[in-house]
Structure 1
Amino acid sequence: MLTLDPRAIDLPTLRRLWAGEDARLDSAAMERIASAAAAVDRIVAGGESVYGINTGFGLLANTRIPDDRLADLQTNLILSHSAGLGEPLPRHVTRLMIVLKLLGLGRGHSGVRTSVIDALQGLLDRDAIPVIPSQGSVGASGDLAPLAHLIAALMGHGSIDVAGTTMPAAAALQALGWEPLSLGPKEGLALINGTQASTAIALDALFTGERVFGAAIAAGALSVDALKGSAKPFDARISDLRGQPGQVRVAGAIRALLDGSAIVGSHARCGRVQDPYSFRCQPQVMGAALDLLANAARTLTIEAGAVTDNPILFPDEDDAISGGNFHAQPVAFAADTITMALCEVGSISERRTAVLIDPKMSGLPPFLVTDPGVNSGLMIPQVTAAALVAESRSLAFPASVDSIPTSAGQEDHVSMAPNAARKATQVARNSAGIVAVELIAAAQAVDLHAPLTTSTALQSLHARVREISPAFETDRYWAGDMAALQAAVLDGALGTGQNFLD
């Protein structure tokens, strides 16, 4: 089990948490949490009006709540904000969201009791994952609705998926032997203010996109051999002169994949001077995409361990300051750049497929089938890839610039980070499907160059593709091959074997 220090979270740790590794906060975090909870008790006892502790919320911030109704205030907050709609968040995303909530609370500036931490940790330990609607947050004042659904489940409302079986939350708590959670002063607001839903969804898109990116690099290298394209554009001297770090890294990865290819050697002295941009400009395009993904990774890593609720407590001074750390604009921008990067990963992949199936461009049989006419070959898989590119482009309009006022104008500028992050996950899936089609085309084209062989590294990739999608001479039902290859891309089984964001 990972022991987490919320002040020292890095990307490899987040990747392990995304993959479902068990984790809990370290002892120092628990001490900080207890200290902040004690500060809340002192503030309440002192009688001062402090937002979120003994006042209403949003436009009602100036309404003082009597001490004997503070528990009702927190309970009503959770119930009133449990107003999401849409399909549930994927189980692994909700699990990551819970871990991120623990990290934020573990900084010791939120004021929840350790018993609340124990309740959240219990969800992870018992594989009890609340069912959380994916729609309803605008990503400012925190991811209010998704986080409210998380806490409402611990209070006996909504549904919980216990080890794969979904049941009413009250029944799940009883089956787990737990009492419904009761909240103290500040706790409801501490739990639902925060960017953890947006950040979890965006990290899901980032890590999925990293796998898609790796598969696209491998597919692009295989396509170079499939076209009998030149390896010269990947010369290190070219990229070094430009100096863009992503370009340098991508060029090196493609060089390594093509190293030792007999196909490359077979046309070393051919008269062909330049290949289409989708082949020779891979370092420039994919490198720029990698730089965007790396910047998004930096932002999301910082956000994962950040204090993003409100007000923020400073226990040493018994001070509580209302600010705006719950505003998820950094997450929104990061998610939108993930979408842009992965949209282009898919776009350039589809162009390579289009070249390979076009006999005028590739010199290969039409649609890569040796008996064209009666057989359509890869005509329609490429159409599917084009459709996915078009959908991704429509999703690439940035959600982060689409603010809309809420809460009677009190929250008059919002980030739309959850929308941005959900779009990024869809584009990641679309691009995985596009790369799957390219892998089919590239593998088929390489087969047509026999007895010439590609490099050892690409032969391994070719073999993995062929385990899922055998070579073809006549038409067959394509959807199964495409879906299986898309799944393999998403699982990380068809990449280069490296994490490009590390």
Structure 2
Amino acid sequence: MLTLSPGNVSLKLLERIWREELPVTLDADARMRIDASAARIDAAASGNEAVYGVNTGFGKLASIRIAAEDTATLQRNLILSHCSGVGPDTPRAIKRLMMVLKLISLGRGASGIRPETVDLLEAMLAKVVTPVIPAQGSVGASGDLAPLAHMAAVMMGEGEAEFQGEILSGGAALEKAGLTPVTLGPKEGLALINGTQFSTAHALAGLFSAWQAGCTSLLSASMSIDAAMASTAPLIEEIHTLRGHPGQIGAAATMRTLLHDSEIREAHRADDPRVQDPYCMRCQPQVAGAAMDMLVHAAITLRREANAATDNPLVLLSEDRIVSGGNFHAEPVAFAADMIALALAEIGSISQRRIALLVDPTLSFDLPPFLAEDPGLNSGMMIAEVTSAALMSENKHLANPCSTDSTPTSANQEDHVSMAAHGARRLGTMAENLFRILGIEIFCAAEGIRFRSPLKTSSPLANVCDRLHEDIAPLTKDRFLAPDLETAAQLVGHGELLDKTDIDFPCLEEMMHD
């Protein structure tokens, strides 16, 4: 059980929670703030002042006062009416991260939620009661209303949830887990569904995958450089310090380490007839480094958002006021998601060009056509390269910005929205596509390195080739390739190939502090 301090939760910890699906609890300071804000809401509910979401309707209906005896019905109706999501269920790890992010937001002590409601959310994570949350329905303003409503419905005993491999009614899932539904008090329904946690969870998952892909692209590019006998002169440190971008400097340094003791490199250091290599080889530090710098900017935004109070209205304890605002508007998340999407697309774009180079005998410096033994009879990696091109093109399309696509909703009360939810949701598909592109590049590069025998690649890259060949045999003749391409993608996605290098790759959290 991890203890969280809202306002100070690190990305490293959030990544652990996402990857390992860990339960969490809020620290004592958060509990004190929750108690204080709940008391302030309780006082407002028993007073005569109109307070949005406590004793009024919602959205365009905010001018309608609600009688004190109807406040519980008001919150229940809010959740049920907002359970309007459609489409496939959201991946479980992302739903659990969303629930954790909601706890962090509530723990800032500005939402007025009761301790027992927070307790239930923590217990659902601990007992692995996971709401069914349709993926579509949020426009990323007024919060991720529909997805979060499906979460809140389970807390009331409504909706559906997964428990021990079964999809049950919310009430049955809670009962089987030994938990009791809550009756939502004043403002609690609004506190649960106002916020950016659905969008932010997807964006964080995309960020973590994109950073891993960026690091893997330094590995795959280094392998391609050796396979094509390309020059390592463009990796010289001073070239990159003269420009000064930290991502570029770190990318080049990593690639120098990966290629340090390569016999292949030493064999053509002198008397190489080529003056310059194509950009996909020569400019990898510049392209991947720029992508990683952009991911750092997105990470800074998402770390802030993960620790933010994104509710409305907010209980301002220092002023003893309850004030309507707009922290639920997910524009920062939408911009971050668009940046991550651009990075994913560009990392894949330059990787695909290296794949194309390796299979082209006019560019690959004496490698056989399509990396095929007995080419003509065998087609080798011909169509694997075409597959990488299809994946690259799909990611380019998906990288089009979502944050610019606002549309008015809710009778023009919510007249500008962020579209952060689907902007962040697409990142999962893009990351999977990119893992497949990088897997194909590593497969091709390993074949190219094999053709350079008896010359040996560097120690880190040899370890990677050995790990790859544990699951994927060298391509000595044509065979059914689809399972091998999927295996390569899985090795990339799980980070196993990075681990086999035994070197330190750039660390996202460290670069955020530079």
Q: Quote how far apart the aligned CAs of 1:267 are.
A: 0.2
Aligned residue number for residue 353 of structure 1: 355
Unaligned regions of 5+ residues in structure 1, if any? none
User: Which letter does structure 1 place at the counterpart of 2:155?
Assistant: L
Question: Is the CA contact (8 Å cut-off) linking 2:406 and 2:418 kept in structure 1?
Answer: yes
With 409-418 and 158-167 compared, the bigger mean Cα shift is at 158-167
Unaligned regions of 5+ residues in structure 2, if any? 510-514
Question: Is the CA contact (8 Å cut-off) linking 2:129 and 2:174 kept in structure 1?
Answer: no
Q: What TM-score results when the alignment is normalised by the length of structure 1?
A: 0.98
Partner Cα distance (1:314, 1:464) in 2: 55
Question: Is the CA contact (8 Å cut-off) linking 1:210 and 1:499 kept in structure 2?
Answer: no
Match of 2:411 among 408, 417, 442: 408
Partner Cα distance (2:231, 2:52) in 1: 65
Aligned residue number for residue 49 of structure 2: 48
Aligned residue number for residue 254 of structure 1: 255
Partner Cα distance (2:420, 2:287) in 1: 26
Partner Cα distance (1:344, 1:268) in 2: 30
Aligned residue number for residue 498 of structure 1: 505
Q: Quote how far apart the aligned CAs of 1:141 are.
A: 0.3
- Indicate the SS of the match to 1:180: coil
Aligned residue number for residue 287 of structure 2: 285
Question: Is the CA contact (8 Å cut-off) linking 1:222 and 1:458 kept in structure 2?
Answer: yes
The aligned runs of 1:393-472 (5 Å cut-off) are: 393-472=396-475
Aligned residue number for residue 172 of structure 1: 173
* Deviations, residues 125-147 of structure 1 (Å, cap 9, x unaligned): 10111110010000000000000
User: Which letter does structure 2 place at the counterpart of 1:140?
Assistant: A
Partner Cα distance (1:311, 1:414) in 2: 18
Match of 1:382 among 360, 373, 385: 385
Partner Cα distance (1:485, 1:203) in 2: 24
Aligned residue number for residue 296 of structure 2: 294
Q: Quote how far apart the aligned CAs of 1:361 are.
A: 0.5
* Deviations, residues 361-407 of structure 1 (Å, cap 9, x unaligned): 11210100121111110000111000001111111110010001100
Number of residue pairs aligned between Structure 1 and Structure 2: 502
User: Which letter does structure 2 place at the counterpart of 1:295?
Assistant: H
Partner Cα distance (2:22, 2:488) in 1: 26
Question: Is the CA contact (8 Å cut-off) linking 2:23 and 2:122 kept in structure 1?
Answer: no
Question: Is the CA contact (8 Å cut-off) linking 2:88 and 2:134 kept in structure 1?
Answer: yes
Percent of residue pairs bearing the same amino acid type: 50
* Deviations, residues 211-230 of structure 1 (Å, cap 9, x unaligned): 22222110110000000010
The aligned runs of 1:216-295 (5 Å cut-off) are: 216-269=217-270, 270-295=272-297
With 453-462 and 156-165 compared, the bigger mean Cα shift is at 156-165
Q: Quote how far apart the aligned CAs of 1:499 are.
A: 5.3
Q: 1:243 to 1:499 in 2, by over 3 A?
A: closer
User: Which letter does structure 2 place at the counterpart of 1:291?
Assistant: D
Question: Is the CA contact (8 Å cut-off) linking 1:342 and 1:431 kept in structure 2?
Answer: yes
Question: Is the CA contact (8 Å cut-off) linking 2:105 and 2:306 kept in structure 1?
Answer: yes
User: Which letter does structure 1 place at the counterpart of 2:257?
Assistant: A
- Indicate the SS of the match to 2:161: strand
- Indicate the SS of the match to 2:130: strand
Aligned residue number for residue 312 of structure 1: 314
- Indicate the SS of the match to 1:373: coil
Aligned residue number for residue 152 of structure 1: 153
- Indicate the SS of the match to 2:206: helix
With 208-217 and 356-365 compared, the bigger mean Cα shift is at 208-217
Question: Is the CA contact (8 Å cut-off) linking 2:254 and 2:505 kept in structure 1?
Answer: no
User: Which letter does structure 2 place at the counterpart of 1:3?
Assistant: T
- Does the alignment pair 1:373 with 2:380? no
Aligned residue number for residue 114 of structure 1: 115
Partner Cα distance (1:339, 1:500) in 2: 20
- Indicate the SS of the match to 1:166: strand
Partner Cα distance (1:22, 1:58) in 2: 34
Partner Cα distance (1:277, 1:306) in 2: 41
User: Which letter does structure 1 place at the counterpart of 2:49?
Assistant: E
Q: Quote how far apart the aligned CAs of 1:173 are.
A: 1.8
With 18-27 and 137-146 compared, the bigger mean Cα shift is at 18-27
Q: 1:441 to 1:136 in 2, by over 3 A?
A: same
Q: What TM-score results when the alignment is normalised by the length of structure 2?
A: 0.96
Aligned residue number for residue 130 of structure 2: 129
Question: Is the CA contact (8 Å cut-off) linking 1:52 and 1:189 kept in structure 2?
Answer: yes
Aligned residue number for residue 183 of structure 1: 184
Match of 1:479 among 473, 477, 482: 482
Question: Is the CA contact (8 Å cut-off) linking 1:111 and 1:186 kept in structure 2?
Answer: yes
Question: Is the CA contact (8 Å cut-off) linking 1:3 and 1:24 kept in structure 2?
Answer: yes
Partner Cα distance (1:469, 1:349) in 2: 20
- Indicate the SS of the match to 1:359: coil
With 154-163 and 197-206 compared, the bigger mean Cα shift is at 154-163
